Structure 1
Amino acid sequence: MSMTDSPTTAYNVEHYNVEQAVLDRYQAGAQQVEASLCCPTEYETHYLEVLPDEILEKDYGCGDPSRYVNPGETVVDLGSGAGKICYILSQKVGETGRVIGVDFNDTMLALARKYQAEISAKIGYHNVDFVKGKIQDLALNLEKLQTWLNAHPVKTLEDLAALETERDRLRLEEPAIPDNSVDVVVSNCVLNLVRPQDKQQLFREIFRVLKRGGRAVISDIVCDETPTEKIINDPELWSGCISGAFREEGFLEMFEEAGFYGIEILSRQEDPWQVIDGIEFRSMTVRAYKGKEGDCWERHQAVVYKGPWKQVRDDDGHVYHRGQRMAVCDKTFQILTNPNSPYQQDVIPILPHQDIPLEQAKKFDCQRSTVRSPQETKGANYRETRTHDAPVCGESSGCC
């Protein structure tokens, strides 16, 4: 299935404004608690102790991506709302980390910022900032654009052209979130609220801002079947995280199409959150990594897949047979064996006896046989003989 045919992008909702329906609903949710916007979620409670009740009550989500963030990291929270996830992350990344919340809703931004100084005083440092922007356009700081617009109101076509020029300048020279600048992008039940025609751009933006080796951890609402026309054409269901829900398999495909690897389901709600017209809607959290782009170099490395499957295939079509030394390029070797890799617990790295410096490496032949001969790893002239007297088990030789 191509992404143009995907159930995540095929909606026809041009007869009403999806963004306005979402904005209106969440502005109301910032002023008065809306329980229907929230999917029951358990958070690590000790991180909630510093948060005021107003944030806890008026922040809506369906999962907890903050569980998968580490100290010292720079994190962006897409659709940060009242700021609950940001303030949890603030404590998790610590004083050396940084958290950036991005939201388009002025009322939610005001609520999140209202307690910023108070929470910073409680934890002993300030590492959270909130930016007004659309999560499908993370380069454009809308508050900076609004400041410019206040000083240069648009009255003519020439004024409009000047506005567009300033918008492009801000994206290029003063991006809200620069390229390759973030360790982790998280989001909690927000991606489904983006217009269908903007969803692919949204995933490209997540990919753009992540550093090589960075990752996205996204909690969102998915469905087991494509929503009906009745569901799709209901503005209330759009703003209620239903109409824009991803098909389960389509959600994973969106990451793959954007260039991510190591895509895995971290959690999937067993009982559906809602069932409408026989279609089940539930929470799912997915993690995906950036970093497989680049050239392939031959350094005589190999990996052995441990099992238990007879064979597995990665996102680039490489097949790994259980127990066999599989030839891989340096890039793939690093992806599979890095201590932070999602694969490292499943493979055994096999390094060559003589290191080939990267600057001396030749291009890896992706069409070659996938099995790496032991002689190739050891070198054609390897003739070492090594013997030992038979030891007694338990002696310091450690043979047994």
Structure 2
Amino acid sequence: MTAAPGAGPSGFLPPAYGDRSLADVVPSVARALGVPLDGHPVGLELPEAPSYVVFLVDGMGAELIARHGHAAPYLSSLAEGAATGTAGVPSTTATSLTSLGTGLAPGVHGLVGFTARIPGTDRLLNHLWWDKTVDPVEWQPHPTALGRLARAGVHVTSVNKRDFDGTGLTVASQRGATYVGADRVGERIAATVAASADEPSLTYVYDSDLDWTGHKFGVASTQWLQQLAMVDAEAEQLREALPASTRLLVVADHGMVDSPRTSRVDVDEVEGMRDGVALLGGEARFRHLYCSAGAVADVVDTWREVLGDAATVLTREDAVGRGWFGDVAPGVLPRLGDVMVACHGDAAIISTRDFPYEDTLVGLHGSLTPAEMLIPVLVG
């Protein structure tokens, strides 16, 4: 595995938008298929082929593969000498899957976290579970890269669990692709092989089980290692079932870190942390704080004092200025917190009142540490 761009003074790894980020994967595949998408810079050099399968494994960070190569011999063999890519910010599933499907950075597609404020309201939109009052096409109005390829004559298929068909996230991130429901590994492989028989074609296939295992048991657990071994076998079986002319591209949406209870701060138990915060969003490793009028400076001071070296606390303007979200569209700006909190190390900012389920999780993600940001880009 070749070296990634260096982390900054905070230990954070900036997103490689326009070069090697998730938003650059589909445009790079399009060029390899001979059907380039206008207006997209391409930083990933992929071999030409008449058909591509993009296999995204949720939660399989590049550092985790490097650390646990013994459990994933096939994927590790592909990683030798391969460069890494990055997630966008925050390093979370809804944001990442939308960047992959649209070819856009988060500041443009607008899915800027696990939860984000619906502008003009005191409500959060959960981008995984969605809200029936929010039209996903209005929330994310841009044509997807998958849909643009389909209109250009490429056979574009999404192979995913049946429960995800027609959800807000799927519509926002993948509309324009033909959806094939497949709940089991054997189904997924068979559906992928059938879809990739068309030329030119791009078949996207998704596996969420490793992420679920990491959240529940942690990435240092025996359960997670066993699940990684199963993903490794799935990738190898998929490669063996595909014709030699089809290229397999294995990527992930983010990595993960285990957060022990001693590294967690509960905003409902620390005096002053709720002061001036009208709405708490984001997730445990990357919080959006929506502040009361005139309270931003006080909130920044309080959270910096409480958290110290455990997190970087920035105003919205500072975070945007650092390029965390890429270019930010005017309509997306109010979805971002007035203040943003990105965790270092294994820290987590929880709320047992607003997000009790998060406190039951072991593995977490969302921040800009290399463990969360670095993703594999493996060609088989």
Question: Which of 1 and 2 has greater Rg?
Answer: 1
Structure with bigger RCO (C-alpha 8 Å, 6+ apart): 2
TM-score bracket, shorter-length normalisation = under 0.3
User: Normalising by the residue count of structure 2, what TM-score does the alignment of the two structures yield?
Assistant: 0.25
